[in-house]
Amino acid sequence: MTATDFDAVRDYDDDQFSAVEVFRSDRLKVVCGYFEPGQFIPVHAPGSDVVIHVQSGTGVVRDGDTNRTVEPGDVVVVEADTDRGVKADVDSRLEALLVTAPPPSDAEHEPVRRGLRQNEFDP
Protein backbone atom coordinates (compact mmCIF):
# COMPACT_ATOMS: atom_id res chain seq x y z
CA MET A 1 0.00 0.00 0.00
CA THR A 2 1.13 3.52 -0.77
CA ALA A 3 0.04 6.21 1.68
CA THR A 4 1.08 9.81 2.24
CA ASP A 5 -0.42 13.20 3.01
CA PHE A 6 -0.01 16.67 1.56
CA ASP A 7 1.96 17.91 4.58
CA ALA A 8 4.49 15.07 4.38
CA VAL A 9 5.43 15.59 0.72
CA ARG A 10 4.77 19.35 0.34
CA ASP A 11 7.36 20.90 -1.98
CA TYR A 12 6.94 24.34 -3.51
CA ASP A 13 9.26 25.66 -6.23
CA ASP A 14 9.63 29.40 -6.86
CA ASP A 15 10.12 28.87 -10.61
CA GLN A 16 7.28 26.49 -11.57
CA PHE A 17 4.64 24.18 -10.16
CA SER A 18 5.93 21.15 -8.27
CA ALA A 19 4.59 17.64 -8.87
CA VAL A 20 5.50 15.10 -6.21
CA GLU A 21 4.87 11.60 -7.56
CA VAL A 22 3.15 9.44 -4.97
CA PHE A 23 2.48 6.32 -7.08
CA ARG A 24 3.01 5.06 -10.61
CA SER A 25 2.14 1.87 -12.45
CA ASP A 26 1.49 1.05 -16.10
CA ARG A 27 -2.16 1.92 -15.48
CA LEU A 28 -2.10 4.90 -13.12
CA LYS A 29 -0.05 7.90 -11.96
CA VAL A 30 -0.76 9.86 -8.77
CA VAL A 31 0.91 13.18 -7.91
CA CYS A 32 0.46 15.88 -5.32
CA GLY A 33 0.69 19.21 -7.15
CA TYR A 34 1.91 22.38 -5.44
CA PHE A 35 1.44 25.74 -7.16
CA GLU A 36 2.64 29.12 -5.97
CA PRO A 37 0.26 31.99 -6.88
CA GLY A 38 -0.06 32.23 -10.65
CA GLN A 39 1.86 29.02 -11.39
CA PHE A 40 0.38 26.51 -13.81
CA ILE A 41 0.49 23.27 -15.74
CA PRO A 42 0.27 24.42 -19.36
CA VAL A 43 -2.66 23.31 -21.48
CA HIS A 44 -2.04 20.00 -23.23
CA ALA A 45 -4.18 17.06 -24.38
CA PRO A 46 -2.61 13.69 -23.55
CA GLY A 47 -4.34 10.39 -24.19
CA SER A 48 -5.21 9.82 -20.54
CA ASP A 49 -8.06 10.74 -18.24
CA VAL A 50 -7.23 12.94 -15.25
CA VAL A 51 -8.99 13.42 -11.93
CA ILE A 52 -8.08 16.60 -10.04
CA HIS A 53 -9.05 17.01 -6.39
CA VAL A 54 -8.34 20.44 -4.92
CA GLN A 55 -6.90 20.15 -1.44
CA SER A 56 -6.40 23.86 -0.74
CA GLY A 57 -6.30 27.21 -2.49
CA THR A 58 -8.14 28.42 -5.57
CA GLY A 59 -7.54 28.45 -9.28
CA VAL A 60 -8.83 27.26 -12.62
CA VAL A 61 -8.84 23.96 -14.46
CA ARG A 62 -9.07 24.04 -18.24
CA ASP A 63 -11.49 21.43 -19.57
CA GLY A 64 -11.61 21.73 -23.35
CA ASP A 65 -12.71 25.30 -24.08
CA THR A 66 -13.94 25.93 -20.53
CA ASN A 67 -12.00 27.37 -17.60
CA ARG A 68 -13.59 26.00 -14.43
CA THR A 69 -13.02 27.89 -11.17
CA VAL A 70 -11.93 25.47 -8.42
CA GLU A 71 -11.66 25.65 -4.65
CA PRO A 72 -10.99 23.21 -1.79
CA GLY A 73 -13.06 20.05 -2.04
CA ASP A 74 -13.73 20.34 -5.78
CA VAL A 75 -13.19 17.31 -7.99
CA VAL A 76 -12.79 17.79 -11.74
CA VAL A 77 -12.46 15.00 -14.30
CA VAL A 78 -11.09 15.76 -17.77
CA GLU A 79 -11.31 12.99 -20.35
CA ALA A 80 -8.42 11.81 -22.50
CA ASP A 81 -7.50 13.80 -25.63
CA THR A 82 -9.17 16.93 -24.20
CA ASP A 83 -7.24 20.18 -23.66
CA ARG A 84 -6.47 20.56 -19.98
CA GLY A 85 -4.33 22.63 -17.66
CA VAL A 86 -4.28 23.81 -14.06
CA LYS A 87 -3.52 27.33 -12.85
CA ALA A 88 -3.41 28.80 -9.34
CA ASP A 89 -5.07 32.16 -8.80
CA VAL A 90 -2.62 35.09 -8.60
CA ASP A 91 -3.41 35.58 -4.90
CA SER A 92 -3.48 31.95 -3.71
CA ARG A 93 -1.30 28.91 -3.45
CA LEU A 94 -3.00 25.80 -4.83
CA GLU A 95 -2.57 22.19 -3.75
CA ALA A 96 -4.22 19.40 -5.69
CA LEU A 97 -4.16 15.65 -6.10
CA LEU A 98 -3.86 14.66 -9.77
CA VAL A 99 -4.59 11.09 -10.86
CA THR A 100 -3.97 10.16 -14.50
CA ALA A 101 -4.88 6.88 -16.17
CA PRO A 102 -2.94 5.69 -17.97
CA PRO A 103 0.16 7.79 -17.23
CA PRO A 104 0.93 10.23 -20.07
CA SER A 105 3.97 9.48 -22.20
CA ASP A 106 7.06 11.65 -22.22
CA ALA A 107 6.14 12.85 -25.74
CA GLU A 108 2.65 13.86 -24.55
CA HIS A 109 4.27 16.11 -21.95
CA GLU A 110 6.32 18.08 -24.50
CA PRO A 111 3.60 20.79 -24.69
CA VAL A 112 3.90 21.13 -20.89
CA ARG A 113 7.67 21.60 -21.07
CA ARG A 114 7.29 24.08 -23.95
CA GLY A 115 4.62 26.08 -22.12
CA LEU A 116 6.78 26.26 -19.00
CA ARG A 117 9.82 27.42 -21.02
CA GLN A 118 7.69 30.11 -22.71
CA ASN A 119 5.79 30.93 -19.48
CA GLU A 120 2.47 30.38 -21.27
CA PHE A 121 -0.56 28.68 -19.74
CA ASP A 122 -2.10 28.15 -23.19
CA PRO A 123 0.86 27.69 -25.57
Q: Residue 103: its pLDDT value, please?
A: 96
Determine contact, residues 55/97, Cβ cutoff 8 Å. yes
Model confidence at 12, pLDDT cuts 50, 70, 90, reads very high
pLDDT digits 0-9 by tens, 27-63:
999 999 999 999 999 999 999 999 999 999 999 999 9
pLDDT digits 0-9 by tens, 79-97:
999 999 999 999 999 999 9
Q: Residue 2: its pLDDT value, please?
A: 85
Q: Residue 1: its pLDDT value, please?
A: 82
For residues 56 and 48, give the distance between their C-alpha atoms in angstroms, rounded to a whole number: 24
Domain 15-118, architecture per CATH:
Sandwich (2.60)
In the chain, domain spans: 15-118
Q: Residue 123: its pLDDT value, please?
A: 80
Q: Residue 3: its pLDDT value, please?
A: 85
Mean pLDDT of 65-69: 96
* 21 sits in which H/E element: strand 18-24
For the chain, the straight-line distance linking the first and the last C-alpha, in angstroms and rounded, comes to 38
Angle ∠(36,52,55) on CA atoms, nearest 5 = 55
